[in-house]
Amino acid sequence: MIAVREAVRRAADVCPIEVGVAVAGGDWKLTVVSKLEPGPLRFGALQRAVGPVSAKTLTRQLRALETDGIVTRTVYAEVPPRVTYALTAAGAELAEVARALGSWGERYLGASAPVAPASAPDAT
């Protein structure tokens, strides 16, 4: 068995779907995976590609994805230091799931319809 976070180990006791949720769930994780699908990216480029995510949150999610074997982090011995992130084979599989979920999301929202915030039910 691969080394994984405790949350993933606990999910394995429930069912495989929960394992998937434990690995892929969390702020920006599937977006990160989808943005890395075309190839490796440096941190700054990844952060710009993902969108309005803080450096702290992106770092936390990248560490979790790395621990779970979804992403690799490569540090190059250069000045200034250069670090790139890339998908592993498991990450490439998860990218397929992210693509499918994205397609589902577009269909769910009615791709051309603008997204409006839900309003509170009328109390009348």
pLDDT of 51-97, one tens digit each?
999 999 999 999 999 999 999 999 999 998 899 999 999 999 999 99
- pTM for this entry: 0.81
CB-based contacts of 51-55 (< 8 A; 24+ apart in sequence): 53/27, 53/28
Which positions ≥6 away from 68 have C-beta within 8 Å? 4, 5, 8, 23
C-alpha dihedral over 111, 20, 75, 43, to 10 degrees? 30
- CB-side exposure of 83: number of CA atoms within 13 Å? 9
Enter the CATH code of domain 6-102.
Answer: 1.10.10.10
Q: Which two tokens stand for residue 46?
A: 């990844």
Q: Are 85 and 40 in contact (CB under 8 A)?
A: yes
pLDDT tens by residue, 37-58:
999 999 999 999 999 999 999 9
Mean pLDDT value of segment 96-114: 85
- Delimit the domains of the chain by residue range: 6-102
